[in-house]
A and B are shown apart, each in its own frame.
Chain A
Amino acid sequence: MLTKRIIACLDVRGGRVVKGVQFVDIVDAGDPAELAHRHAAAGADEIVLLDITATHEGRGTLLDTVKRTAATLFVPFTVGGGIRSADDAAAVFDAGADKVSINSSAIARPELIGEIGGSFGAQAVIVAIDARRGAAGADDAEVYVSGGRKATGLRVVDWAREAEERGAGEILLTSMDTDGMRNGFDCELTARVSEAVQIPVIASGGAGSAAHFAEVFGKGKADAALAASIFHFGVTDSRELKAELRRAGVSVRLPC
């Protein structure tokens, strides 16, 4: 049976893992390679590394970090941040990534999705969407770019559909409203997007407990869920989380 995936996310800034609340208030959480391996050993199904400041800074640090992290990591490894061209993506794949996550750059130039997919396969392209609810709630949720600083006027569901049509392999949906609050995912919005597309949807933003994951896999219709802070600070790890989810009837891979 296909299991629900638990994805550990490392937000990296200047080569260090950091964690913010609603995209601000940044604190240090450790070394990326070390944390990636710790998560994989504890049973995380995938690792995502997002270079949250790459859009403004150079990319050398990112490639070095990717190489170091990927060296002995044998679970799927996604890298995002500052990937603006198929050549940028190729460099990241070369350093050991299995998938890239693109966000602002895909909005700026949607052809990029197909360009990367054409060379590396659709399964290697994740389109990340930062979403904030509008006046009508989940229905008019809007896409934001540049680390949540800029509204685009695009509806989340419309953009997710377009990303799929252009050849995205997965959608990573982050709710800016719930991010870092540990009060649960935006299940309503996640379900809207999951129903709108055929490709897997990864829910992100708001994980605080095992119940939140169970909720987003059920009500939210998510195929995978991503979290950062609840893992980094030892509140829980994937092993405990998955044991709890299995007790709740969610199908998950238990680590050996």
Chain B
Amino acid sequence: MIAVIDYKAGNLTSVVKALKYLGAETQVTQDPEVVRAAAKVVLPGVGHFQSTQLLADLGLTDAVRESVAKGAWFLGICVGLQWLFAGSTEAPEVAGLGHFAGMCERFPASFEGPELKSPHVGWNSLEEVRADSKLLREVQEGGFVYYTHSWRAPVINATAAVTNYGGAFTGVVERENVMGVQFHPEKSSAVGLQVLKNFVEL
């Protein structure tokens, strides 16, 4: 069973629909006990980093920390990936899980001269795909995925693939049982479904 955490950050319909399509059993929840008991946890999220404050308020941050320490598989999507880091300049007063080092920052207004549009919306490619990534099994270098975001996570040791827009940022992060994707796998056609399938089959 995959616990899908509902923290009122946008719309869960698409993520749950895609997981079910791949044959996974899901439970949408706000209950820390359900998260502690789950073998797999998905934290979706679109919208503002501020909304992750609710995770702390509901006791879900501690529940995730314990469940990850016990070895449960964890997948953060979009803001869910950003939350795995120390925090975000989008809501500096709200702490992230701090599982990975570094702060998420806004795209710069320009990059190497020309103006950079923000949000970064559309299909962009995954580069420097790490061969040992479990989440990216059978995902090709250069595979296209759908992004929509204005803040991004830095490239760190645990980065499993980068995407270039105003410089490289973390498209996929993975260390042992903790994973995150900045793009929307549920909206990324065949490549996205492959990523979710890899997670479902772990």
| A, B assembled together | yes
CA separation between A51 and B36, bound complex, in Å?
Answer: 44
Closest approach, in angstroms, between the C-beta of B142 and any C-beta of chain A?
9
B200 within 8 A of A: no
Specify which chain B residues have a CB less than 8 angstroms from the CB of A93 in the assembled complex.
11, 13
Q: Could you list 11 further interchain pairs (A-B, Cβ under 8 angstroms) beyond the known A40-B189, A124-B10, A198-B118?
A: A1-B164, A2-B123, A71-B17, A76-B148, A96-B13, A120-B47, A121-B9, A123-B119, A169-B119, A169-B148, A256-B189
Specify which chain A residues have a CB less than 8 angstroms from the CB of B192 in the assembled complex.
74
Closest approach, in angstroms, between the C-beta of B81 and any C-beta of chain A?
15
Closest approach, in angstroms, between the C-beta of B72 and any C-beta of chain A?
26
B125 within 8 A of A: yes
B117-152, CB under 8 A of A: which get 1 and which 0? 111111111000000000000000000101011000
Q: Do B21 and A3 touch (CB < 8 A)?
A: no
Q: Which of A121, A199, A256 has the most CB of B within 10 A?
A: A121
11 contacts between A and B (CB under 8 A): A45-B123, A70-B13, A74-B21, A94-B11, A98-B187, A120-B11, A121-B46, A121-B48, A122-B119, A123-B121, A123-B149
A179 within 8 A of B: no
Please classify how large the interface on chain A is, using the bins under 10, 10 to 19, 20 to 34, 35 or more. Answer: 20 to 34
B191 within 8 A of A: yes
Q: Do A256 and B187 touch (CB < 8 A)?
A: no
Q: Which of B46, B124, B186, B193 contacts A2 (CB 8 A)?
A: B124
A74 and B187 in contact (CB under 8 A), knowing A120-B10, A200-B121? yes
Specify which chain B residues have a CB less than 8 angstroms from the CB of A122 in the assembled complex.
119
Q: Which of B48, B124, B164, B187 contacts A75 (CB 8 A)?
A: B187
CA separation between A18 and B84, bound complex, in Å?
Answer: 46
Closest approach, in angstroms, between the C-beta of A194 and any C-beta of chain B?
9
Specify which chain A residues have a CB less than 8 angstroms from the CB of B86 in the assembled complex.
none
Specify which chain B residues have a CB less than 8 angstroms from the CB of A5 in the assembled complex.
122-123
Specify which chain B residues have a CB less than 8 angstroms from the CB of A170 in the assembled complex.
121
B188 within 8 A of A: yes
- A-B complex: 8 closest residue pairs judged by Cβ atoms: A121-B47, A253-B144, A123-B148, A253-B123, A121-B46, A2-B124, A256-B190, A93-B11
Specify which chain B residues have a CB less than 8 angstroms from the CB of A40 in the assembled complex.
189
CA separation between A223 and B11, bound complex, in Å?
Answer: 25
A75 and B189 in contact (CB under 8 A), knowing A120-B47, A122-B119? yes
